[in-house]
Amino acid sequence: MLVYPQLGTGALSQFPVRKQHRTRTVANRAADGSSIKLADPTGEITEWQLPYAELSDGELSALEEFFAAAEGTLQSFTFLDPIGNLLAWSGKLDNNVWAAEPLLAVAGGIGDPFGGTQAWRLTNRGAAAQDITQTIAAPGGYLYCLSAYVRSAQGVTVTLLIGNGRATRTATNQWTRFAFAWTGDAALSSTRFGLEIPAGSILDVFGLQVEPQGAPSAYKATTTGGVFEGARLADDALQVTTTGVNRHSCTVNIIQCKASLI
Amino acid sequence: MHRWEIRLSELDESEMAAIEEFFEANQGAFGNFSFTDPWDGRVYPSCSLLGDTLDVQAVAEMRDSTSLTVMENRG
């Protein structure tokens, strides 16, 4: 599996990042100014421009190896949006993308930490721990950060799950954002993320987020998620400028077209 | 017919994600939505985004920017 390299910091990119979404709408405009429009979902294109500065020799080498493996624009790969939340339907835990174990009840409309009602209540009615997870087509060997706001009147110990990595945190009756960073098995082409709560416990959850980096950024609610399969480098050349000893800069352009996946 | 050019800067990541989700939900210029004129509070029930492109610039953490044009539909 071709994997876009993370930097030494665990991040995929440096600021500034430019991201462009392009859709295609066919419009028939009548003489009276009205119009009939037709959406073309297969015409959707997403592009990123990732400028890098002050790269170390090792980081540049990883980028150059990736460029060679991709053979420029030829080979496709799965790209993880460096400024997005990788989870789909992050604010809708009853969506089919989420797998809740059978004795875990999931209810929405709970007050969230920002004054809304977008949080969810997880109630484990079983006699063993139960989890709610989402598996995404994200390479196993990346460094990921899973974060979530949690609250519990019972002082529940919640376990954050990334692949086979687990971290326990104790929720209080105040909303607290917990984060867990972990690198999984590089041989895997998908990774499972989620939360596990012990038997008989109740936990309020909001803002589940996964990012391909070592620490969380502000929560981003999603529907589609930030995993872009079938992405390609947009250029057949990688121009590198060496600005000093162990200091390099370059810009990588990446493009993903939905039509290429159909 | 009305048109509003909306330039947004100094957005945090949550705000920018909401804009991106809105753009995707509308499939660019295809979707219809109601828009409240920020000048006078009047609601225009049938509007669309003018273009099929959303350009997002993440300059630094909590410093995102983009621009959108909203157009009132006729008919």
Complex-level ipTM: 0.94
Its pTM stands at: 0.94
Pairwise CB contact (< 8 Å): B61 & A221: no
Q: For chain B, give the mean pLDDT.
A: 95
Per residue in A58-82, pLDDT (tens digit) is: 999 999 999 999 999 999 999 999 9
Residue A36 has pLDDT above 60, yes or no: yes
Per residue in A91-133, pLDDT (tens digit) is: 999 999 999 999 999 999 999 999 999 999 999 999 999 999 9
Q: Is B40 exposed, middle or buried (0-12, 13-18, 19+ CB in 10 A)?
A: exposed
What's the rounded Cα separation, in Å, for the pair A181 and A183? 7
A36–B contact, CB cutoff 8 A: no
Which site among A15, A19, A114, A256 would you substitute to test the B interface, given the most B Cβ atoms closer than 10 Å to its Cβ? A19
Cis peptide before B38 (omega within 30 of 0): no
pLDDT band of residue B30 (cuts 50, 70, 90) is: very high
Tokens of A58: 């090792």
User: With contact defined as beta carbons under 8 Å apart, do A179 and A201 qualify?
Assistant: no
Residue A6 has pLDDT above 60, yes or no: yes
Chain A nearest CA to B18, separation (Å): 7
Q: Which of A81, A37, A102 is nearest to A220 (CA)?
A: A81
Tokens of A168: 């326990």
Please provide the distance, in angstroms rounded to a whole number, between the alpha carbons at the two ends of chain A: 20
What contacts A61, CB < 8 A, 6 or more positions away? none
Residues in chain A closer than 8 A to B57 (CB atoms) = 16-18
Pairing of strands B53-60, B63-72: antiparallel
A32–B contact, CB cutoff 8 A: yes
How is chain A split into domains, by residue range? 18-83+227-261, 99-211
Per residue in A177-199, pLDDT (tens digit) is: 999 999 988 899 999 999 999 99
Pairwise CB contact (< 8 Å): A217 & B53: no
* CB nearest A37 (choices: B18, B29, B60): B29
Q: Which of A227, A136, A41, A21 is nearest to B21 (CA)?
A: A21
User: With contact defined as beta carbons under 8 Å apart, do A77 and A46 qualify?
Assistant: no
Pairwise CB contact (< 8 Å): A222 & B74: no
The percent of residues above 90 in pLDDT, for chain B, comes to 96
Nearest-10 Cα torsion for A158, A159, A160, A166: 160
What contacts B33, CB < 8 A, 6 or more positions away? B26, B47, B48
Which site among B3, B9, B11, B27 would you substitute to test the A interface, given the most A Cβ atoms closer than 10 Å to its Cβ? B27
A74–B contact, CB cutoff 8 A: no
Residue A223 has pLDDT above 60, yes or no: yes
Q: For chain A, give the mean pLDDT.
A: 95
Fold classification of A99-211 is: Jelly Rolls (2.60.120)
Tokens of B4: 């509003």
CB under 8 A, 24+ apart: contacts of B15-20 = B15/B64, B16/A83, B16/A220, B16/B56, B16/B58, B16/B64, B16/B66, B17/A84, B17/A85, B17/A220, B17/A221, B17/A222, B18/A221, B19/B54, B19/B56, B19/B66, B19/B68, B20/A21, B20/B54, B20/B56
Chain B nearest CA to A245, separation (Å): 26
